[in-house]
Chains A and B, each alone.
Chain A
Amino acid sequence: MHFSLTSLLLLGASALVSASSLTITIPVSSSLPNPHVLPATSHATLTTLPSGEKEHTLSASLTRSATFVFHDLPSSSLDAQPESYLLDIRSAGDYVFAPYRVDVAADGTILGIWETFRGNPWDNRGTEKYIVDVAGKKQLDVVVEAKVIGRKVFYEQRAKFSPLSLVKNPMVLLAVVAMGLMFAMPKLMENSTSIAVSAFCLIVYISSNLNALVDPEMRAEFEQHSRASPITGATNNAIAGGGFDLAGWMAGTGSPSPAVNAAGPAGSTGRDTSGTARRRG
């Protein structure tokens, strides 16, 4: 009895107001841990094409409880077509919300709410957020949750100055190597020339092949290139061949080894190309 009385009252109210309301709540999510940080300018809009006297663009401001409330959804005469609204939530360009499709019957009650996708056909509906009860019991106040998709990044990050970046600078590296040679070479020359030079050559080789070592694809390409290139070809041969007199090669005085002959163009001797030399050998 009591129940029927309240439902009667409700009916009366609905006859008077003849419209329902839509409340959109903002759930706590990983991208928006605290919905209360949204700026006060955030608002939700319902948009459709104008038809008749009805309002076709509605706007709702963000409330203290981090919700958007549309009071009194527009209604028209009962023979009118239901309206299909696009629901957008905009938050000063910062947080991005998924757009929804809101279908409203002629009497102002909500028929259904679905997620929708921009740039897709309008009948391509996504997740269902609310659907009217088939039994016909119309709900006057519908509450759905908004969906935060992401956050916009407005600013460019400036590269920070760090001493490490200075060291990474090729110019600085060159200078360091040159300095190293300047100071270390004479001393090393005195002790054991061949060790120092082979160490240096190893450095040159590794630095030139560094990229190729990283990526197999690149390595393949690099090897293809290196077949044509006499310098690296020579170095490869030298490393592979083992018994190569580096010191002699560096000094450019020449040696009987065919591999050294192959390295001719790389040194200042300028004799023959590596390919022909090997074929001959």
Chain B
Amino acid sequence: MRLQAALFLACLSPAAAIYPDEINHVDFHHALLGAPSADSTFFLKPSPSSNASLLYTLSDKLIVGAVNPRDGALVWRQNVSRSANSPANAGLLRGLDGNDALVGAAGSYISSWSAQDGKLGWENWVSGGVVADLELLELEDATASSGLRDTVAVINSEGTGIVKRLNGNNGRTVWEYKDASGDVPFQVSSSSTEIFYVSLQSALLKGFKIKVTALDPLSGQVTRQQILNSEADVGTPESVIYVGANSASPIIVWTDKAQKTLKVNVIGTKEVTSIAIDNTSGSDIRQITVHAPHKLNALPHFLVHYATETGAWAEVCHVDLMSGKVTKVYQLPYLPGQSAVAASVIDANVYFTRITDSEALVVSSASHGILGRWDLQKPSSDSALHSVSEVVAKGKSVAVRSALFRKHGDWQLIRNGQVEWTRHEGLIDAVAATWAESAVQEDLAHELEVEGHETVIGAYLHRVKRHARDLQYLPDWLKDLPKRILSSILTDEVSNLDSFGVAKPVLVATKNGRVYALDTGNHGAVSWGIQAVETSNWAVKAILASPGAATIYSDDGSSVTVDVSTGEIIARVEPSSSKLLAIAVLGAQDGSKLATVGVNADGSPATSFADEDGFLVTTSADGRVLGWIAKDNKIPVWEFVPPSGEKLVKATARPAHDPVASIGKVLGNRSVLYKYLNPNMALVTAVNEETHTASFYLLDGVSGKVLHATTQAGVDSTQPIASAMSENWFAYSFFGDVSGRESSAKGYQLVISELYESPSPTTVVLSTPPAFMIPEPISHMAVTQTRQGITTRLLLCTLPSSNSIVGIPRPVLDPRRPVDRDPTAAEAEEGLFRYAPYLDFDGKWYLSHTRDVAGIKDVLSSPTLLESTSLIFAYGSDIFGTRATPSQAFDILGKNFSKLQLVLTVVALGAGVAVLAPMTRRKQVNALWKI
């Protein structure tokens, strides 16, 4: 039976699947990680056999990821925030060269991941604590079996410090050291012979003393303890600048309060070396960072980087292994502007890479001679926050590649001064997006409008002038013509579809106040990015696109208007009113005149809207649905309150652009079922968390009448309940449980209902089948939009558990499919086939095919000038865009159309005519002679 259904499906739904050669051509995907954190980003060789290294990071979104430094492509990623129970503000990630395991920690969660493919090695939850620091043991002791290196973790368990050594292969605890003295657990460091547990001991009056406890790596026994008198300088844990990790002589670095002297202690010794800070810049030091090699066999050299508001310099220091003394060796001079420094190691030699606004240079830690210097090809105005570098020595010269993270969220790889790639990690915070309209078409529309309003002669003259003006483009056009003809034969796509509106730019607003423009016609490349608002939490409520410009509205009543092509800020409206709950967009059906109305938290419009016959449906923060008419923003016309115990979770309406190609449906018996096409319907979802029910109310937006209400039992309200509406149908999905009756099914369900006009004018006929069981949860639903609505619609479903987007063809979900019987001849003629309770997602429905599109919160669809094609853009965490052709690209000559074959046929016909013409002529002449 299932096979039969599948066969029917194959015949019925026109395969809208993507061809393998269309990947990266019609679609694009930005697989994002988030802002890489400064101390958990590094280059690493994942396998001892290979020399190639990958770039690893743990981002501020707690995503562990590996990036190929060659092209910036994501190799693998794992989101550990789902496993980290307690909210952690920063995670930790550690790795070792040649050790195929990365160990990461976030909150109470520690996990080990295979460095090559990102598969889980082991995972651990520390009970009642937070991981404060993590270190991989580089030394190999006698007990260590072959395999992965062990991990030492410091856990802050409600004030008690616990040091644990975890087995690298299975994550089991080898030994544990508990520090119940009440000190603040701080960090862990190791040398070749000892493990140092660094904690901060509260001094009598104020400040902290740094306490170093040396532990035996094999048994975890305390071997000695040292307390450094740092209480005058160290007021908070943040005052300690650096605790050196894994170098031959690990160090602790801090400064005095006035930032005049740098204090360095080699861990394990009692001595504290003071180095005077030579601040010649005249301004205050804003930030001090220490860059030291992380390898056990590296030279004990380190670099201290001082940054002021306007410039930066650095000092290189050496540690004398015998005496434990620290000496300043040389200085990298003060340069105005930003600079980022990174340390890298080849064998035992230490190299420092410094990237400033205009150049990149490499020095050896041993001497101040510059080994390599490159001018940056494109100096960036965006300041660099941190970088990691990998240096390769080629004879006397060196080559360097640095991954530089910039303040505005761009992660760049700079190889010998050249920017190799840029990952726009700032896009991960996208909160709103819209399709922009370029101003070029607007000009023509304007000109045509002018012509329409003039007299016949005036319009004619205007048009002649316009055409004469257009002649200036003729030489260029002629020059391009041969190239266009050639390229159109050779390239994939038969014609360039950009002029049909398939290459619209998309504007994306992010949470931290930035606006990006993505070119969907060019693999979603970022055309520009600007800081529109200085904020860390931009609550964008609406983006309105007008030709050439877009206005972004925030919840405080402020708005920013940007130029679509350049990113310039054209206009800015300062915040005015109190916090708005939402912003409604009012407009005519053709979308020409758009206006916005703010909605207050109580659901009332902030202003009375001027549109005479307009009305508005709003939801309030306390879960009521209200209907308003124009000119009265005080008293609603109607109010819908869900029954007590139910909480409103979502309200959906038909999309603004939702053309209906056919108002009825012709049945097999040649009668017509007319669709109930009310443009003002709203589907309201309300859940009752106590009784595990979900209710769906279909409201008429004008009268507030409940057209239809249904309640589903056994619904998990903590799982996503998605809904969508279009034309005369609506769909929703939820997780349904057996709810006491073992005979019902357990799993995710999708319900679709259609509305038809009934003979009596007051009622609506509803067609609802039993729910479809679907294999996965759906977190968001949308419907494809095409220009005239002739093309079959797809129900776009975001699948959060398999990180994909699926487009279910509407005919498959027809609620009129016969249940428990085969279709009659009349029904078969309509294309109905037997209902099967289980709806498996066909692979060909996957718009994201094999891509891992993670964290999508919203999917937009936009019509193009081609009826067959609908643009799709998804954002939220990753960015994904594609073109959907639900009824296949019937108005485009696709790749299947071979121009070469056409040309060859024409040539062959020409040749045939050339051969046959003389023959016929001769024959005719012969025939004449015969008579």
Contacts and interface: CB of A to CB of B under 8 A. Distances in A.
Q: Does B bind A? A: yes
A49 interface: yes
Contacts of A117: 838
Given A64-B120, A155-B18, A161-B901, A122 B738 contact: yes
Interface string A103-129: 000000000000011111111000000
A264 to B, nearest CB: 30
Contacts of A119: 745, 747, 772-773, 836-838
A108 to B, nearest CB: 15
A40 interface: yes
B216 to A, nearest CB: 27
Contacts of B493: none
B843 A41 contact: no
Select the residue from A93, A122, A166 with max chain B CB neighbours within 10 A: A93
Interface in A21-75: 39-41, 43, 45, 47-50, 56-57, 59, 61-64, 71
A45 to B, nearest CB: 7
Given A64-B120, A161-B898, A122 B838 contact: no
Nearest to A51: B692
A86 interface: yes
A103 B313 CA distance: 64
A261 interface: no
B659 interface: no
B737 interface: yes
The interface size bin for chain A is 35 or more
B757 interface: no
B555 interface: no
Contacts of A182: 916
Contacts of B125: 71
A206 B15 CA distance: 35
B21 A92 contact: no
Contacts of B714: 49
B17 A155 contact: yes
A41 B744 contact: no
A56 B738 contact: no
B922 interface: no
A50 B716 CA distance: 7
Given A50-B716, A90-B802, A158-B21, A99 B743 contact: no
B718 A123 contact: no
A156 interface: yes
A158 to B, nearest CB: 5
Contact of B119 (A57, A62, A166): A62
B568 interface: no
A64 B121 contact: yes
A153 B804 CA distance: 14
Contacts of A92: 802-804, 850, 852
Given A49-B714, A88-B775, A158 B838 contact: no
B737 A49 contact: yes
Interface in B826-846: 836-838, 840-844, 846
Given A92-B803, A94-B850, A154-B849, A56 B716 contact: yes
A154 B843 contact: yes
A153 B718 CA distance: 32
Contacts of B572: none
A176 B82 CA distance: 68
Contacts of A56: 716, 718
Contacts of B120: 61-64
B119 A155 contact: no
Nearest to A101: B746
A122 B18 contact: no
Interface in B695-720: 714, 716, 718-719
A182 B917 CA distance: 13
Interface string A142-170: 00000000001111111101000010000
18 contacts: A45-B801, A49-B692, A50-B692, A61-B78, A63-B121, A88-B775, A88-B801, A92-B850, A93-B799, A94-B850, A117-B838, A122-B742, A153-B843, A154-B846, A154-B850, A155-B844, A158-B19, A158-B21
Given A40-B118, A154-B849, 16 more contacts: A61-B123, A63-B119, A84-B746, A86-B746, A90-B802, A93-B802, A93-B804, A119-B745, A119-B837, A121-B744, A154-B843, A156-B844, A158-B19, A159-B896, A166-B901, A182-B916
Interface of A: 39-41, 43, 45, 47-50, 56-57, 59, 61-64, 71, 84, 86, 88, 90-94, 96, 99, 101, 116-123, 152-159, 161, 166, 179, 182
7 residue pairs, one from A and one from B, having the closest CB atoms? A152-B843, A119-B838, A119-B837, A40-B118, A123-B742, A49-B737, A119-B773
